[in-house]
Structure 1
Amino acid sequence: MSGIGANIKRLREDRGWSQGRLAREVCRLAGVSGEPIGRQEISRYETGKRTPREWLPFLAHALGVNVEDIKTLQGVPEPPMPTLADFLPAGNPLAPLRARTGRRIDSETVADLRQRVHGLRLADDVIAGGDLIRPALRELRVAVTLYREASYSQRVGRELLIQIGELAQITGWIASDAGQHEEAERIYRIGMSAARQAEDCTLAGNIAGSLAYQYSNTGREDEGIVLAQAAVHGAGSKAPAKARALYHDRVAWAHTKRGEAQLAMRALGEAAEALEEDSADNASPNYLYWVDAGELRVMESRVYTELRRPLRAVPLLRDVLSGYQATHTRELALYLSWLAVALADANEPEEAAHTAERIISLSSAVASERTAERVRVVLNRLEEFSDTPEVALVLTQHRA
């Protein structure tokens, strides 16, 4: 990331804006139509792949700073995070080599990989993306290398593709948590390709839902709703109950981010109905171990918060948080962030400030862009109550 790119990213995040929001502001200030500067262009500026040049004054204006503030390097830039390109071969990473020279593998090798993939999922429950991204990418490289270079039966090849798909889903999730959204999208698409080749519609839908969730959270709401709905329709009614519940959950969130309250409520209801059908006779894949009634309550409370319905959101969030595991630091901070916003919406600034203090303390210990973004959202929401002493103290301490 260049000095200019790092400054643009920092200033944008300080405002709590998505890349899409910044792009729209730049176009508005420049008086142009058709969005010649879009989200992807902002991403290229931030990663140093391009330099703004003639757009720099408009970027500075949108971000409320001088051009020199963007040009001046702030501190020593952090070393770049790894990307999938660092770990995988060029071209189609799932294309087998014409002449495989590696050893022959069997189901036992795939079973070992399956255990490591599940271990990575469990690690993600307690370790944030910035700390997990490197081992996750290494595991994905190993799996893809096996598929391309080893020899195996048709059945083992399909099992291997499924594990690549599962590994891509959790690795994409980890990359997204680390703030590497473009990288996460590339990883998710590799996973969807592997799942489709393995003819595993449930897995393909799970990966598509994860990417839809990222779209919805990064200013690409229209793409999010289309992909979330595609996951629902692609898997069909024969998908396991937990899978269908999760697909509808993603649809609910996508509608919420577009402000479509009625459609969001309907999708939440469909998620609850699907989960009620869960039984031992309709076994779900291991990777859906975390989907349960509690998780649906979390999503419901978040939907109510986003839709500015605090009287519904606050009791739900308090109920969820009352029994939440303290070891899941990132999720605890995230759920508390929605509680803080809901409390502010309920005109309870003192309690919102107290909750914000907990969030800031928790998030400082995890390398998660998700929690960092939620801290910015909470602090921006509290600005309205800056005359309240408890809020003023939180805002002052955080700025310091």
Structure 2
Amino acid sequence: MGTTTTSRLDAFLTGLISMDLPLGSDLLHSRAEDAFTLCITLIADAAYCEKVGTELHRLAAKAAGFAGWMAFNNGNHPIAESRYQTAIHLAEMSGAVDLKTYYTMDFAHQQSAIGRPVMALELLSTVASDVRRGRTSARTAAAVHAISAEAHAILGDSAAHTKAIEAARAALEHDTTPQTFTPNSWVTAPVIELEAGYSLLRLGKPRQALPHFEVLNNGAFPSEQWPREAAIHLVYAAKARLGAGDVEAAVAYARRAHDFLDRVSSTRASQRVACLRRALSVHQRTPAVRDYLDRPMT
């Protein structure tokens, strides 16, 4: 097997990644697992030179990490953990520092999501040196700092959260790479602001979080292109409004989140919207809330 095959395999994986944001994980999870299995089978059974073998391990890392992301979005955390661990190992074997760092960040994000922020920070500490030395892309470095901010927020450390968000913004100032469908293509300045807002919510500061969600209203965040992420971020914006005591505005965000949910197949987004509906249900004396809750979940 030669470089022509690995180039085609890389293009195939890039195509899968490009479909994640518009379609959602429910439709792509099995495809991601198939891609991962194909890569592992080629490593085990195909004949190739050392250069091609290194590239195969990098592609297998990419496939494993994407399968982990799909599993995480589907709520299958044991599979997500397994795939992320495999991705990190394969990336290290191939010398793909940026990929290893990126999927370590993804693994840390998953750990925070299931209530293990200390473990998340421990994972991030394993790649901190590569980030400091500039061995990763600007977007991956920014993502590492943003997920660190999330973990610190869960732990209630406001100062560490602020420092990490500032580091994420600073990292992106040095980003000169084109917007392509790489695993870290979602890491943009508007997304960092949304992550800051989400983390402030976790710190119990909904009013301070509100300005960060304005990127959902001014066109800075590509909601139409990324419906799953738009639905999730709009849920957090609604919760910030709810926490600030503005029920009517919270319902307006909830309606927008629901509209995007109707366009994508995502367990994670559906769970976020369902959680918001439960939070709104205590305000059923408000006509707008009652009207919204009459809308069925898809």
- What is the TM-score normalised by the length of structure 2? 0.90
Matched, 1:349 2:272: no
Matched, 1:299 2:195: yes
CA distance 1:106–1:235, shift in 2 (3 Å): farther
Q: Provide the rounded CA distance (Å) in 2 between the counterparts of 1:205 and 1:317.
A: 27
Contact 2:194-2:212 at 8 Å conserved across structures: yes
Q: Which residue of 1 aligns with 2:46?
A: 150
CA distance 1:204–1:253, shift in 2 (3 Å): same
CA distance 1:358–1:278, shift in 2 (3 Å): closer
Q: Provide the rounded CA distance (Å) in 1 between the counterparts of 2:74 and 2:182.
A: 24
Q: Offset at 1:140?
A: 1.1
Q: Provide the rounded CA distance (Å) in 2 between the counterparts of 1:309 and 1:162.
A: 41
Match of 1:194 among 63, 66, 90: 90
Q: Provide the rounded CA distance (Å) in 1 between the counterparts of 2:226 and 2:140.
A: 23
Contact 2:102-2:184 at 8 Å conserved across structures: no
Q: Provide the rounded CA distance (Å) in 2 between the counterparts of 1:208 and 1:376.
A: 29
- Structure 1: unaligned runs, 5 residues or longer: 1-104
Q: How many residue pairs get matched?
A: 294
Q: Offset at 1:295?
A: 2.0
Q: Provide the rounded CA distance (Å) in 2 between the counterparts of 1:284 and 1:363.
A: 25
- CA-based RMSD of the aligned residues comes to 2.4
Q: Offset at 1:166?
A: 1.2
Matched, 1:257 2:154: yes
SS of the residue aligned with 1:288? coil
Matched, 1:112 2:13: no
The letter of the residue matching 1:330 is R
SS of the residue aligned with 2:32? helix
Q: Offset at 1:219?
A: 1.9
Pairing of 1:43-192 with structure 2 (within 5 A): 105-192=1-88
The letter of the residue matching 2:63 is L
Deviations 1:320-341 (A, max 9, x none): 3431332422111111101100
- Structure 2: unaligned runs, 5 residues or longer: none
The letter of the residue matching 2:141 is R
Matched, 1:336 2:234: yes
Q: Provide the rounded CA distance (Å) in 2 between the counterparts of 1:271 and 1:128.
A: 26
Matched, 1:275 2:172: yes
The letter of the residue matching 2:151 is A
Q: Which residue of 2 aligns with 1:385?
A: 283
Contact 2:223-2:229 at 8 Å conserved across structures: no
Matched, 1:238 2:130: no
Q: Which residue of 2 aligns with 1:71?
A: none
Q: Provide the rounded CA distance (Å) in 2 between the counterparts of 1:260 and 1:369.
A: 30
Say which structure, 1 or 2, has more relative contact order (CA 8 Å, 6+ apart): 2
Q: Offset at 1:156?
A: 1.0
Percent of matched pairs sharing the same residue: 25
The letter of the residue matching 1:349 is V
Q: Provide the rounded CA distance (Å) in 2 between the counterparts of 1:234 and 1:328.
A: 30
Q: Provide the rounded CA distance (Å) in 2 between the counterparts of 1:321 and 1:113.
A: 38
| Higher mean C-alpha deviation, range 375-384 or range 113-122 | 375-384
Contact 1:321-1:332 at 8 Å conserved across structures: no
Q: Offset at 1:347?
A: 0.9
Pairing of 1:309-320 with structure 2 (within 5 A): 309-320=205-216
The letter of the residue matching 1:329 is P
Contact 1:321-1:335 at 8 Å conserved across structures: no
The letter of the residue matching 2:29 is I
Q: Which residue of 2 aligns with 1:289?
A: 185
SS of the residue aligned with 2:127? helix
Contact 1:232-1:244 at 8 Å conserved across structures: no
